[in-house]
Amino acid sequence: MNLRKSSRLSVLCLALLLPLAACTSNEQSSTNESGKNVTLKIARGERPVEQALAEVYKKALESKGYTAQINKSSDDPFKQVKDGQADVAVDQAGTALFLSKDSASITGEDGVLSTDDLKNLRTEINDSGDQIKALDLSPADAGKELVMSNAEAYTHEVDSLSSLAKACAKLTVITDETETSNLQSALEGEGCASPKISVVETSELATQLRASVDRAVAISAGSSIISDEGFKAISDSAKLFNAEPYMLLAGENVDDKAQSELNKITGELSQQTLVDLNRMVNKPSAMSPAQAATRWEWIIE
């Protein structure tokens, strides 16, 4: 083939390829912009920290050109996405267990959700073929752990779960969970023959912890009271309770770019960030969730 024919062939190929490239570009642009043509509705729980997180996610979406609004807080935000009432929902990952076809296979024989169990749940949701997508789990875990005053821990020689089991005859475990069979079984499994468990209202946990006489209190590891008031978290005790990292569910209106931005925020939610956020939105001197969201850049690590 001579040089002239070769040049003509190259021009012809280029002419054919350019429209195809333009079509591909237009399709990608259309896909990326489709999520910006709707108002993304965000569902959130009733706890102040979840309300603040929803505000953070809303601001992140708006910074990327999306329109977002927050639905009225409810006790079941994930169900709002399932029912098509919201496009994004923020909650603790374990509350998505209703989406599993076999929840018992997720929780296992002990009935306690570990982080690995929740990863399996997320995979099941994403492999289900449904329009709902389970986004990343947060590094932070709001799950409970047993906490004591330093004085009580010293008095009863408790510095780990195994040493707590040895002292359990003298201690009462305080929890706000009405179903205590899993906790009782777990304590017995650690060597506590006859664990004493007392159930109180969630609002009473802080008072019980401050009283802290011959007791260990089950409280969220994300609570600021533990570090702010110098209490001692018992090593390894978190395994007695469900892991509770945060997770988002996203509906079909949430495109890939929006999902990426939401995952970025979730990835910034470290354990310390969760503690700091809880400190800002809970009494005393609590600020509003919207105010707390404006301080996000200050508290992320």
Same domain, 63 and 97: yes
Q: What is the mean pLDDT of residues 135-156?
A: 96
Q: Is 26 inside a domain boundary? A: no
Same domain, 131 and 69: yes
Q: Count up the domains in the chain and report the number.
A: 2
Q: What is the pLDDT of residues 15-35, one digit of tens each?
A: 444 454 444 445 444 444 555
pTM: 0.86
Q: Which of the 8 DSSP states describes residue 34?
A: H
Q: Which of 214, 210, 248, 252 is nearest to 231 (CA)?
A: 210
**Distance between CA 17 and CA 26 in Å, rounded?**
14
Q: What pLDDT is stored for residue 172 in this prediction? A: 95
Q: What is the pLDDT of residues 81-140, one digit of tens each?
A: 999 999 999 999 999 999 999 999 999 888 899 999 999 999 999 999 888 999 999 999
Write out the residue range of the structural domain in which residue 236 sits. Answer: 144-240
Domain end call among 240, 261, 278: 240
Q: For tokens 């960030």, what's the residue?
A: 273
Q: What is the CATH number of the domain that holds 265?
A: 3.40.190.10
Same domain, 275 and 210: no
Same domain, 135 and 250: yes
Q: Is 97 inside a domain boundary? A: yes
Q: What is the CATH number of the domain that holds 212?
A: 3.40.190.120
Q: What pLDDT is stored for residue 12 in this prediction? A: 42
The DSSP result for 209-249, as a single string, is HHH-SSEEEEEETT-THHHHTTEEEPBTGGGGS---EEEEE
Highest mean pLDDT among 2-11, 65-74, 202-211 belongs to 65-74
Domain end call among 222, 240, 258: 240
Gap between the terminal Cα atoms of the chain: 63
